[in-house]
Structure 1
Amino acid sequence: MSETATGKLQQKDFTPEVDELLPQATSLAQAGQLQEALEKLFALEKQARNGSDLKSTTRLVQAIVELEYDARDYVQLNSSINVLSKKHGQLKGAIQAMVELAISWLDDIKERDGTEKWLELIETLRSVTEGKLFLETPRARVTLSLAHHHEALYRNPTPKLLPPRDSLITASDLLSDLQVETYSSMERVEKTKFILEQMRLLLEVAKLKDTESSNTGKEDKNMLNSGEPEWVKLRVQSRKVNEQFLKESENESVKLQFYDMMVQYGLRHHAYLDVAKYYHKVWETPSIKEDVSGKGKTALEHIVYYVALAPHDNEQSDMMHRLFADSALEKLEVQYNLIKSFTTDELMRWPGIVDVFGPFLRKTEVFSNDKHWEDLHTRVIEHNVRVIAKYYTRITLVRLTALLDLTPQQAEETLCRLVVAGTVWARVDRPAGIVNFRNKRSAEDVMNDWSSDMQKLLGLVEKTWMGVNAAQAAQARVNA
């Protein structure tokens, strides 16, 4: 006696009985006596199952469903799959083999016998695999096929069925219900691709709902009827993808698909720095980087545009300076000069920026968007405020307004926003019309700075004195 995968000891080997019965059952089915053949197979299947003979039980359950499939008796086929999977003491290996065999027929059934028969078998398989850990991967694959079917109904609406939008939402919900990241039986590549499919459908639903919300004039990202819930789910799903795994060369197409969706997520929420990072990941891909005049050039241009659009902070500044130091950027004249302007402590007068960069940038995909062009103007103003704060201790509001090319109200609003954000320190004396960029210092601070300066001065004096002594000693030795 041997032990089966379930841990039960095999009581008897039914191989001889199975070898004898299978040809007989096949002959009976071919002669039109399917029910008689099934009765014989079911009877022996029970004996093999009770005897814990996994190999024989597997052969018998596969023979049962295969005869029904060959006879195109789909009612009996669906019934047998349900019944055999729920039999008392049924062996897991036998159920798994039966389900996998049925899955292999799905494409042929859909093509030959129509969608209705295909859907019936799909629902049967989903019912049989529900709640069974050893069937989690087959269930995920079947559910993916069903989701694609509902997505196809959205792309090609059929009268008398669900409204197109409901079909797309159903497809997304079907996949979102599966937590494939916990499936130990699914290969890593398949698992990643499955998560990307979940993200793709969530993205489709989010964009659809956003469009509907915008068309009704009730656009609000916090409203439940907008696409915001799907955008949140998309972000959650993205965290399940191992980005180290995406760096492997064989996963390049998966990586590009992932970052394309992340770019769309970042743009939806105006997270420009994140978008720049996503494009940087794309640009680092070997095949993209090697295409210096095509996709590589496009990716690098987008990195420049979105890092320039991102609000100033330490991370943004660091990324911009590292990008400026990259030799690859020197080949892009316009983008290089744009980054150079932002990394140089000089004023960027907006009228000049419009004249120099406007004709080119406004034709690009990024800056043809009026919102992005307005945000670039905002970043230029903020850069100018930081430069002014660096070179001026005090400045009149009139002069500040002129340097920023803004109205007095706009200049004050911009300055206040940067002060609140902690980007610059400033205080506005409205009656006097003066902006102070230096905080009043206490006597202790002044003394500390004086002490530090004196220590530096004494250090320089001592270093100079030692140098003079060394020179005199050397001269004395030469004269001697």
Structure 2
Amino acid sequence: MNTVIGVSVNTVLFGGCFDGFIVVIVFVLLVGDWNFWDGFLSLEHKNLDAAIESLLNVEKQMRLAGDVAGTKKAVIDIVQLCYEACAWKTLNDQIVLLSKRRGQLKQAVTAMVQQAMQYIDETPDIETRVELIKTLNNVSAGKIYVEIERARLIKKLAKIKEEQGLIAEAADLMQEIAVETFGAMAKTEKIAFILEQVRLCLDRKDYVRAQILSRKISPRVFDADPLKEKKKPKEGDNVVEEAPADIPSLLELKRIYYELMIRYYFHHNDYLEVCRSYKAIYDIPSVKGDPAQWIPVLRKICWYLALSPHDPMQSSLLNSTLEDKNLSEIPMFRLLLKQLVTMEVIQWTSLWEAYKDEFECEKDMPGGSLGEKAAEDFRERIIEHNILVVSKYYLRITLKRFAELLCLSLQETEKHLSEMVVSKSLVAKIDRPAGIVCFQAPKDSNDILNSWAMNLEKLLDLVEKSCHQIHKETMVHKAALKVQ
């Protein structure tokens, strides 16, 4: 029986952790001898220690001899042996021990870290997983040849922290890594890592740091042609690693980037930048080719154009959006934009009754649904539009008549007009005692002097031409008298 037991133990020890334990547990349950279980664990521990010791001797010989391939194999075998025996504490200890050995080869440390990273998802519980990640992180800290592996480890640890509800800790962990300096990391993986940093900062309401991190990504990087053939690296250049399979494509990253930017700009009520972000999402081929995707995006573009203050950029986007043929699929929004570009006074009450239901339907926005603040801003944009229309057709108008055209009180009319003058959207003066609004722009002293000079020049030209004509008529008259 002892011989059989010894053979079965040696057979299951290195043949797979869970299968071995199942065989032994079944044997103990059948025989009923629990002392054998203690003997099995002791024998397993001794066999594991003996196997590791022999491999450590092999690793030492290979390392001293400078044999890179042999050292890597010995290191990987030790790590794999600990994994198969489910000795997670021993695995952590051996990783630290091997990394601190004198003259340890960089290739061996890299191979060991990469091999151990494959076992992270195989850990039995979350504590063991965190411990293994921290061990690998400590080993790879400060080593430039495993910087990519360290970034991936930090990302895994941050994800665990986030699942535990520790958003602030996850964000702090991610900010420790500056992946933009990693030359060997794939471009898409860099972008995905930075976007994860931005997302965590937005989740913890740290909008200042989110903006700083987002500036590490240039929007022009998303315009690169992914089908363009990669240039072969020259001799001495760093070889760029392939991105992991779970990293999204460049166009998917573009959508994620602009959705995060929408969240940031919406917090600051920067409607024009929100509109431009939606415009960038709208231009993605996969979105533009699917009506189920582009119709909601185009609706949001129209809303945020209507909410944006009047300026040259807003006017340019408004006209370019009106030229979009897809806008005919949503005629209500085409009519809304048409009203905004037409120089006619818009009645706010009738407009709000027509679009109130559509306004309240916009719920699924990355930055948040359109609420009371957006409704107030929409009303202000309509009032601003009406003021600009009036200023186009009148040089002078009474404040009372102005208020009647805007359907506002005198106080509200004066308030909105003053705000537009302060923001330099309009040039106007209010004569409050007389109750008159003047839209003529004040002239600069230099402009006045220049106009006077031009008027004098024109006057002198007329005088000279008149003198010439008089002289000509005089000569003709004298010649006629001589003939007679």
Report SS of the residue matched to 1:422: coil
Alignment of 1:319-338 (within 5 A): 319-338=317-336
Check if 1:50 corresponds to 2:64.
yes
Within 5 Å, give how 1:36-435 maps onto structure 2.
Answer: 36-109=50-123, 113-154=124-165, 167-206=166-205, 230-247=206-223, 248=225, 250-292=249-291, 294-365=292-363, 369-435=371-437
Q: Which residue of 2 aligns with 1:16?
A: none
Q: Point out which structure has higher relative CO (alpha carbons under 8 A, 6+ apart).
A: 2
Q: Is the 8 A contact 1:26 1:37 kept in 2?
A: no
Change (3 A) 1:452 1:282: farther
The percentage of counterpart residues that share the same residue type is 34
Shift of 1:430: 0.8
Aligned counterparts of 2:337 and 2:457: Cα–Cα separation in 1: 36
Number of residue pairs the alignment of both structures matches: 390
Q: 1:363 to 1:101 in 2, by over 3 A?
A: closer
- Secondary structure of 2:204's match? helix
The secondary structure found in structure 2 opposite 1:89 is: coil
Q: Assess if the C-alpha contact under 8 Å between 1:393 and 1:438 holds in 2.
A: yes
Q: 1:119 to 1:363 in 2, by over 3 A?
A: closer
> Using the alignment, how far apart are the partners of 1:236 and 1:195 within structure 2?
11
- List runs of 5+ in structure 1 lacking aligned partners: 1-24, 155-166, 207-229, 455-480
Alpha-carbon distance between aligned partners in 2 of 1:59 and 1:107, rounded to the nearest angstrom: 22
Equivalents in 2 of 1:450, 1:351: separation in Å?
50
Q: 1:404 to 1:87 in 2, by over 3 A?
A: same
Residues 389 and 188 (structure 1 numbering): CA distance in 2 closer, same or farther, change over 3 Å?
Answer: same
With 363-372 and 317-326 compared, the bigger mean Cα shift is at 363-372
Question: How far did residue 384 of structure 1 move?
Answer: 1.1
SS at match of 1:33: helix
CA RMSD of aligned residues (A): 2.6
Distance change (3 Å), C-alpha of 1:130 and 1:412: same
1:67-104 CA-to-partner distances (Å, cap 9, x unmatched) read 22222222222111111111221110000000111111
1:34 to 36, 48, 54: 48
Alpha-carbon separation, structure 2, partners of 1:449 and 1:404: 40
- Separation in 2 of the partners of 1:448 and 1:339? 45
TM-score, normalisation: structure 2: 0.75
**Which string of whole-angstrom CA distances, capped at 9 and with x for unpartnered residues, describes residues 299-356 of structure 1?**
1111111011111111111111111222222332111111111111111121232243
**Cα distance in 1 for residues equivalent to 2:343 and 2:327:** 20
**Higher Cα Rg, which structure:** 2
Q: Which runs of 5+ in 2 are unaligned?
A: 1-12, 16-42, 227-248, 460-484
Relative distance call for 1:449 and 1:412 in structure 2 (3 A) is farther
C-alpha contact 1:276 1:306 (8 A) present in aligned 2: yes
Distance 1:252 1:89, change over 3 A: same
Write the letter of the residue equivalent to 1:77.
Answer: L
- Cα deviation digits, residues 372-397 of structure 1 (max 9, x gap): 11101100111111111111111111
* Amino acid paired to 2:207: W
Residues of 1 paired with 2:455 and 2:362: CA distance? 53
Name the CA shift for 1:453/1:404 in 2 (closer, same or farther; >3 Å). Answer: farther
Q: Is the 8 A contact 1:151 1:168 kept in 2?
A: yes
| Aligned mates of 1:77, 1:452 — CA distance in 2 | 96
Q: CA contact under 8 A between 2:141 and 2:150: conserved in structure 1?
A: yes
| Aligned partners of 1:347 and 1:384 also within 8 Å | yes
- C-alpha separation between the residues in 1 aligned to 2:56 and 2:284? 57
Counterpart amino acid of residue 336 in structure 1: R
Partners of 2:264 and 2:390 lie apart in 1 by 35
- TM-superposition CA deviations, 1:412-459 (whole Å, max 9, x none): 1111111111111111111111111103557546557879999xxxxx
CA shift in 2, pair 1:423/1:448, >3 Å? farther
Contact 1:349 1:403 in 2 (8 A): no
2:385 and 2:337 map into 1 onto residues whose CA distance is: 12
Q: Residue 451 and residue 373 in structure 1: after superposition, are their counterparts in 2 closer, same or farther (change >3 A)?
A: farther
Seen in structure 2, the aligned counterparts of structure 1 residues 262 and 232 have a Cα distance that, compared at 3 Å, is same
1:132 Cα deviation after fit:
0.9
- Over 3 Å counting, the alpha-carbon distance change for 1:242 and 1:36 in structure 2 is same
Deviates more, 1:119-128 or 1:68-77: 68-77
1:69–1:439 distance in 2 versus 1, CA, 3 Å: closer
